[in-house]
Structure 1
Amino acid sequence: MPTGVHLRDVRQQLFDAAERVLLRSGPNGLTSRAVTDEAGCSKGVLHRHFADFDAFLTELVLDRAARLGTRARALRERAGTGTVAGNLTEALTSLFGPVPVAIVPLVTFRDELRARLRQARPGGGIAILAEITSAVSAYLADERTRGRITDAADLDSLTLSLVGGTHLLYTDHAPDPPTTEAVAKLVTAALAVAAPQPPA
């Protein structure tokens, strides 16, 4: 088997194992031993491919953040169709899945991981939230060019309200996600100030 394929396979097997441990045991349970036990390999396998455990975690977070890109593109493709509130509700419910929600506290609790993520990508201290924020901001900008968001809307503040509010909803409802109705209510309230006003 070619070395490059083999390496990618090992990395993904370790990432998938780490994801399962994180979902099952939380950030405190995510250790190198727990990951390699879950993957069914020795600790040496992990350390052959990563300088240390924080390097492994950095690559894990960046990999999972990159996977959100497909969902982010799907949101932008919906611009101009359906309703803005409906599109955002569906996208935020998808973007804040179990894995992204579990990764945020992992990054928050590990200073070295956060520092390495900032080195890896500007503004990437919490890469998952940065990816979601970028997706929502780009979508809102697209909708504003179509006249479905008022020109006067502060898109930065609106994005923070949507992403931060949704994250709090998911945190408050852990381990179960909030209902779609709860997310829709938050989205509708946040968008109220950004909706174009009908002519008098």
Structure 2
Amino acid sequence: MVDKKKRRRRDDWTPPPKSAARLAAERDMRQFKALQSLPPVPQRRVILAGYGMALLLFAMFLGFLLPSLWVVEDLRSRGVPVAAEVLDTSNNKYGDVSKVEVRFEGPDGAVETELHDVAGKYPEGLFPGAVVDVTYDPRAPGRALTTGWVENPPMVSSPLLVTGALTPPVLGLAVFITIRRRRLLKERKRITAS
């Protein structure tokens, strides 16, 4: 009679040892799968573009704000108030005033100039032929502003609000992407080191 082979129980069975090449291949496959599961790393140029846009928006914000403040302060300290006649006004494509030309008597005769803007904004309600009080700089008569705006300048304008409101979120997004890139690179380094 033939001897029956003793059947092994499952818990008795051990797999044969794996070769070093097979172990290395399995490790490489685990690393590959782990790296594939990670999201893509943000590129440096995206981060630099974010910081560049934030810097540009902040520069535009200061470009709208500071020259207006300087003109107002100069006219408050040494400005001469006079009555001026409005020669021409023009509107931009949105219907806002984009230019106001006035004529007034300066120290060397009649001066025709454009009113200076305050934070990208021009006075409303002026029409050709109207008389308005302006304050001009005797050193540079081309720098003129309505007297009401010299005393109480409107520091809130659309360009100022838009650039001021967009700067922090754009900067925050650039910082967030930078931090995310660093974390993803650390995670990739940890996966490839194991």
- Tell me the TM-score normalised to structure 1 length: 0.23
More strand by share: 2
| Higher CA-based Rg | 2
More helix by share: 1
- Tell me the TM-score normalised to structure 2 length: 0.23
